[in-house]
């Protein structure tokens, strides 16, 4: 039991309603009226120092009597301790709770998602809009238990509604009000917007925002003066002291540019609405949800093993680490210990997927910044790893490698040799990319000093993975919350200094090299033995036994027809995915299907910081910044 | 399931519309051959990559599979300069107006390849968020099965489309008629969309709650 629970009891008395433990995690249930106060105390109290907000989500149980829970997953980066805090909201009362955005900026999108999916209002949230569904979505809140899986309307009605939707569905009210854009709206809509509860739209003609915002410009391109000394030539506005707002008064209106959802540089169907003053980014409003596929809702209708094919399709650049994460979360929930060989094979799977994910990242980011060749090199290497994946799992991309309690298959003959060869050629290609990019003047100019986040900002936004480490925070789940025996491997965690796009590139490239180190160690120490646990309540018995042995046949039948039952409880398991901390939170009510399957999507949370990174830079830098996040829309939108 | 007639198919035969006055002759068939040869061998794809299939599409375009062998290396991300809309990946409802807008922007002649199970039928995502097949939103020429299809599968789909193009004739203008949305904002009659989107296989069984 986490001692923080006791400390909370002492400090807050009856506001702490219940302390429980499930699957090794301590869960503190608090009074919803005091959530902000308690979380602020946990964050700032020196003995507690839960300074990293991992996730905010909500759970609704199948039993309609039970309250809805808002769940906060916290982690102390200094003490390396997790804590889960939840607040129960009675369904009879208003579903509202204080927003914790004042404590952690990273809570912004997470709370918006909870609002979108559950209809819980966060009081004091700066921008509580739907995030995954469109703004005028009329069918309700999809993750509520009374919401049917296929939606409330018929398919034709759903298609009709989106095809005939008014621009409001695609733009936020705020954007529609931006000068220039509102001219193009029909008069009737302008009138309606003006009447809406969301406040009057600003008059066209003056600055872009309802309230003038001042943005400091610290832009410059480096040149040399007559004597050859480096000087900084300011871009955008000649006088660096002059603010953007002043510039707009002098020069005219801000411009609204819409990038995406179909744009080659957005790495999927991301849409960025950018407000520009000349070339300078004043504001970025990301719109996501264009690939929202209802994974979490679908998960509530599937057995635990049936979730694994879904995880492939979430972060499709690194399917195997998603498979591993789901199996580990389910095993944590069910209290299953996997075999040694399985552990090492899963390490190999995780590191292979880190390698291929970073390869795509480097290739496409270079492509965005104007270098085409690395893309071809990287895909050449990827194809080699794809071949290995295919030999192991039968699929190039959608691997579905794991099963709860083990793996779908053992590695085939010759796999280790193939992987060794692959590692060798991979290092050679990395050296080539290194030679082509790392000291390349264009590459450095496009990436250095761009999209800077300090360590404190990165923690405030709950960033993880290379985004966090490039800002100088050495948090790696493999080191700090070890799983799969990662503590026995010898590897380094690269950490950046400047927190810019260039450092993110360096960190990722070094991570690939470290992954190769881990892969080599794993191959050296690969133990023999079974890959699956010896428990036929969880793992299907071998086919020959099913055909000859009554008991095996019964196990087989029950597993296929009823699935594996998990005990009542909840488990959060996270691993260091290629994009950051990938966490799966499973809640079970004792049946074979989870009540709630929550994904802590690293890229969703990393992307939320894009405005922070991009404001004040040029539009073309926004592309580099967006690429540096390593977005994968399947995971962001789920 | 009823037969799906493209709404524009009869429109092309209306009085006043341009209908080829000649029956196929040696000259027109030679011309068809020439035009189709040119069209089929230099299709400019507009990759509408959304999800996993887009990664396999990228693999198809990259070094090993090399889509350039089929005259398709010029990936145009502008619908204004594209011939083939290649929908690679799932299409949620939120994205449906986007693909429709892109399709409308493409000039004739244009074709559509639906890559993968999700684009063709909704795939494993039989839920509130997903369009059950892009053919309820835009007309489709070639469906490539697979989840995701291998690059070879996509290349085969491209070859099939080339074959289809080689069978077209300039004498039949109806195949080039713009298929616009009807007054209700739908491409197909509502009952056809509902029928196309019905659950299939065991997906209804799986959606029963535990």
pLDDT band at A324 (very low <50, low <70, confident <90, very high): very high
Exposed e or buried b per residue across A251-271, where buried means at least 16 C-beta atoms within 10 angstroms of its C-beta: eeebbbebbbbbbbbbbbbbb
pLDDT band at B200 (very low <50, low <70, confident <90, very high): low
- pLDDT score, position A201: 38
For A636, which residue in chain B has the nearest alpha carbon? B51
- Specify whether the CB–CB gap between A41 and A48 falls below 8 A: yes
Other CB atoms closer than 10 Å to residue A33's CB: what's the count? 11
For B49, which residue in chain A has the nearest alpha carbon? A268
Residues from chain A that touch B130, judged by Cβ atoms under 8 A, are 293-294
Q: Is the pLDDT of residue A627 over 70?
A: yes
Are A398 and B93 within 8 A, CB to CB? Answer: no
pLDDT band at A195 (very low <50, low <70, confident <90, very high): low
pLDDT band at A345 (very low <50, low <70, confident <90, very high): very high
Q: Average pLDDT of A223-250?
A: 45
Q: Average pLDDT of A412-432?
A: 90
For B54, which residue in chain A has the nearest alpha carbon? A268
pLDDT band at A218 (very low <50, low <70, confident <90, very high): very low
Residues from chain A that touch B102, judged by Cβ atoms under 8 A, are 262
- Specify whether the CB–CB gap between A563 and A305 falls below 8 A: yes
Residues from chain B that touch A398, judged by Cβ atoms under 8 A, are 52, 147-148
ipTM of the complex: 0.81
Q: Is the pLDDT of residue A56 over 90?
A: yes
Coil/strand/helix, residue A94: coil
Q: Is the pLDDT of residue A450 over 60?
A: yes
Q: Name which of A136, A158, A264, A311 to mutate to probe chain B: the one with the most chain B Cβ atoms within 10 A of its Cβ.
A: A158
B137 vs B151: CA distance, rounded Å: 25
Selected residues 541-580 of chain A with any CB under 8 Å from a CB in chain B = 563
Give just the sign of the alpha carbon dihedral B125, B130, A142, B190: negative
Nearest to A292 among B52, B92, B207 (CB): B92
Residues from chain A that touch B77, judged by Cβ atoms under 8 A, are 262-264
Are A150 and B59 within 8 A, CB to CB? Answer: no
Report chain A's mean pLDDT, rounded to a whole number.
Answer: 83
Structure tokens of A30? 């608090």
More confident residue, A189 or A570: A570
Are A293 and B127 within 8 A, CB to CB? Answer: yes
Residue A262, beta-bridge partner list: none
- Specify whether the CB–CB gap between A355 and A515 falls below 8 A: yes
- Specify whether the CB–CB gap between A553 and A543 falls below 8 A: no
- pLDDT score, position A369: 86
Are B77 and A264 within 8 A, CB to CB? Answer: yes
B57 vs B47: CA distance, rounded Å: 8
What is the nearest CA distance from A174 to chain B, expressed in angstroms?
19
What is the nearest CA distance from B160 to chain A, expressed in angstroms?
23
How many Cβ contacts (< 8 angstroms) between chains A and B? 173
More confident residue, A168 or A577: A577
Report chain B's mean pLDDT, rounded to a whole number.
Answer: 79
- In this structure, what DSSP letter does residue A279 have? T
Are A261 and B64 within 8 A, CB to CB? Answer: no
Residues from chain B that touch A318, judged by Cβ atoms under 8 A, are none
Are B207 and A301 within 8 A, CB to CB? Answer: yes
A594 vs A450: CA distance, rounded Å: 43
Nearest to A290 among B95, B190, B196 (CB): B95
A478 vs A519: CA distance, rounded Å: 14
Residues from chain B that touch A164, judged by Cβ atoms under 8 A, are 184-185
A627 vs A616: CA distance, rounded Å: 17
Q: Is the pLDDT of residue B104 over 90?
A: no
Q: Average pLDDT of B135-160?
A: 91
Are A293 and B191 within 8 A, CB to CB? Answer: no
- pLDDT score, position B20: 52
Q: Could you write out the DSSP letters of every residue in chain B?
A: -PPPPPTHHHHTTSTTS----S---HHHHHHHHHHHHHHHHS--EEEEE-SHHHHHHHHHHSTTT-GGGGT------SGGG-SEEEEES--BGGGHHHHHHHHHHSPSS-EEEEESHHHHH-TT--STTB-S-GGGTS--SEEE-SSSPPHHHHHHHHHHHHHHHHT--TT-GGGGS-----TTS-SS-HHHHHHHTS--TTHHHHTS--
Cα A95 to chain centroid distance, Å, stands at 26
- pLDDT score, position A194: 64
Is A163 in CB contact (< 8 Å) with chain B?
Answer: yes
A268 vs A120: CA distance, rounded Å: 29
Are B50 and A379 within 8 A, CB to CB? Answer: no
Is A235 in CB contact (< 8 Å) with chain B?
Answer: no
For A565, which residue in chain B has the nearest alpha carbon? B210
pLDDT tens-digit readout, B22-56: 566 777 778 888 888 888 888 888 888 888 888 88
Is A136 in CB contact (< 8 Å) with chain B?
Answer: no
- In this structure, what DSSP letter does residue A618 have? B
B163 vs B141: CA distance, rounded Å: 11
Residues from chain A that touch B117, judged by Cβ atoms under 8 A, are none
Are B92 and A637 within 8 A, CB to CB? Answer: yes
The residue to which tokens 């968020």 are assigned = B129
Report the share of chain A in percent with pLDDT over 70. 86
Is A40 in CB contact (< 8 Å) with chain B?
Answer: no
pLDDT band at A251 (very low <50, low <70, confident <90, very high): very low
Least confident segment among A273-277, A295-299, A600-604 = A273-277
A436 vs A505: CA distance, rounded Å: 13
pTM of the model: 0.83
pLDDT band at A169 (very low <50, low <70, confident <90, very high): low
- pLDDT score, position A512: 92
A240 vs A218: CA distance, rounded Å: 7
Are B58 and A164 within 8 A, CB to CB? Answer: no
Q: Is the pLDDT of residue B175 over 70?
A: yes
Nearest to A294 among B54, B75, B125 (CB): B125
B79 vs B67: CA distance, rounded Å: 19
Are A293 and B206 within 8 A, CB to CB? Answer: no
- Specify whether the CB–CB gap between A523 and A420 falls below 8 A: yes
What is the nearest CA distance from B121 to chain A, expressed in angstroms?
13
For A400, which residue in chain B has the nearest alpha carbon? B147
Q: Could you write out the DSSP letters of every residue in A448-472?
A: TTSS---HHHHHHTT--THHHHHTT
């Amino acid at each position: 039991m986490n001692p923080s629970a006791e400390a909370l009891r002492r400090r807050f008395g009856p506001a702490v309603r219940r302390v429980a433990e499930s699957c090794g995690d301590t869960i503190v249930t608090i009074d919803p009226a005091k959530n902000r106060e308690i979380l602020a105390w946990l964050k700032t109290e020196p003995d507690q120092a839960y300074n990293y907000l991992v996730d905010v989500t909500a759970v609704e149980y199948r039993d309609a009597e039970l309250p809805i829970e808002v769940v906060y997953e916290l982690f102390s980066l200094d003490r390396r301790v997790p804590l889960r805090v939840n607040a129960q909201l009675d369904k009879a009362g208003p579903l509202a709770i204080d927003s914790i955005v004042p404590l952690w900026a990273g809570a912004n999108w997470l709370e918006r998602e909870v609002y979108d999916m559950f209809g819980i209002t966060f009081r004091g949230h700066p921008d509580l809009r739907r995030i995954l569904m469109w703004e005028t979505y009329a069918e309700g809140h999809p993750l509520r238990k009374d919401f049917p899986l296929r939606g409330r309307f018929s398919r034709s009605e759903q298609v009709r509604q989106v095809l005939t939707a008014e621009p409001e569905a695609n733009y936020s009210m705020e954007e529609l009000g931006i000068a220039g854009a509102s001219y193009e709206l029909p008069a009737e809509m302008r009138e309606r917007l003006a009447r809406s509860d969301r406040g009057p739209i600003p008059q066209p003609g003056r600055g872009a925002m309802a309230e003038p915002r001042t943005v400091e410009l610290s832009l410059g391109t480096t040149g040399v003066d007559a004597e050859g000394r480096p000087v900084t030539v300011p871009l955008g506005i000649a006088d660096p002291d002059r603010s953007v707002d002043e510039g707009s008064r002098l020069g005219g209106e801000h411009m609204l540019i819409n990038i995406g959802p179909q744009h080659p540089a957005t790495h999927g169907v991301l849409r960025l609405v950018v407000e520009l003053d000349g070339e300078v980014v004043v504001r970025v409003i990301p719109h996501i949800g264009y690939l929202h596929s209802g994974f979490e809702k679908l998960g509530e209708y599937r057995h635990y093993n049936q979730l694994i094919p879904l995880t492939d399709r979430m972060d499709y650049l690194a399917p195997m680490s998603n498979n591993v994460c789901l199996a580990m979360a389910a095993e944590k929930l069910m209290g299953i210990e996997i075999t040694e060989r399985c552990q090492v094979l899963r390490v190999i799977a995780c590191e292979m997927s880190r390698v291929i994910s970073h390869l795509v990242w480097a290739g496409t980011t270079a492509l965005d910044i104007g270098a085409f060749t690395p893309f071809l090199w990287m895909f050449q290497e990827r194809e080699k790893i794809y071949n290995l994946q295919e030999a192991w799992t039968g699929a190039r991309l959608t691997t579905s490698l794991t099963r709860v309690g083990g793996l779908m298959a053992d590695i085939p003959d010759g796999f280790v040799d193939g992987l060794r060869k692959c590692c060798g050629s991979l290092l050679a290609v990395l050296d080539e990319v290194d030679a082509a990019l790392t000291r390349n003047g264009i590459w450095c100019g496009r990436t250095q000093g761009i999209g800077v986040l300090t360590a404190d900002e990165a923690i405030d936004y709950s960033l993880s993975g290379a985004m966090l480490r490039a800002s100088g925070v050495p948090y790696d789940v493999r080191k700090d919350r070890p799983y799969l025996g990662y503590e026995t491997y010898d590897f380094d965690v690269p950490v950046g200094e400047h927190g810019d796009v260039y450092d993110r590139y360096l960190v990722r490239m070094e991570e690939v090299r470290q992954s190769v180190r881990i892969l080599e160690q794993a191959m050296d120490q690969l133990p023999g033995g079974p890959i699956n646990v010896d428990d036929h309540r969880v793992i299907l018995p071998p086919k020959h036994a099913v055909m000859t042995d009554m008991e095996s046949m019964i196990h087989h039948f029950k597993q296929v027809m009823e699935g594996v039952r998990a005990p009542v409880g909840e488990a959060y398991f996270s691993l260091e995915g290629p994009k950051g901390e990938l966490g799966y939170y499973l809640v079970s009510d004792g049946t074979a299907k989870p009540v709630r399957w929550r994904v802590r999507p690293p890229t969703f949370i990393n992307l939320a910081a894009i405005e922070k990174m991009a404001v004040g830079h040029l539009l073309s830098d926004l592309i580099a910044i967006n690429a540096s996040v390593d977005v994968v829309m399947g995971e962001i939108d789920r | 399931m009823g037969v799906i007639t493209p709404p524009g198919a009869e429109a092309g035969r209306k009085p006043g519309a341009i209908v080829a006055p000649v029956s196929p002759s040696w000259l027109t068939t030679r011309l068809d051959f020439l035009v189709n040869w040119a069209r089929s061998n230099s299709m400019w794809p507009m990759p509408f990559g959304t999800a996993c299939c887009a990664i396999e599409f990228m693999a198809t375009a990259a070094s090993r599979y090399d889509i350039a062998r089929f005259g398709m290396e010029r990936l145009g991300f502008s619908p204004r300069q594209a011939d083939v809309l290649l929908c690679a990946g799932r299409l949620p409802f939120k994205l449906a107006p986007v693909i429709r807008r892109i399709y409308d922007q493409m000039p004739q002649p244009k074709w559509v390849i639906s890559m993968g199970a999700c684009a063709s039928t909704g795939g494993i995502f039989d839920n509130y968020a997903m369009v059950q097949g892009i053919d309820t939103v835009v007309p489709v020429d070639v469906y490539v099965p697979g989840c995701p299809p291998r690059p070879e599968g996509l290349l085969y789909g491209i070859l099939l489309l080339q074959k289809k193009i080689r069978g077209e004739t300039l004498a039949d203008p109806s195949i080039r008629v713009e298929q616009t949305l009807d007054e209700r904002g739908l491409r197909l009659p509502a009952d056809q969309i509902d029928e196309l989107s019905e659950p299939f296989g065991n997906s209804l069984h799986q959606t029963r709650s535990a």
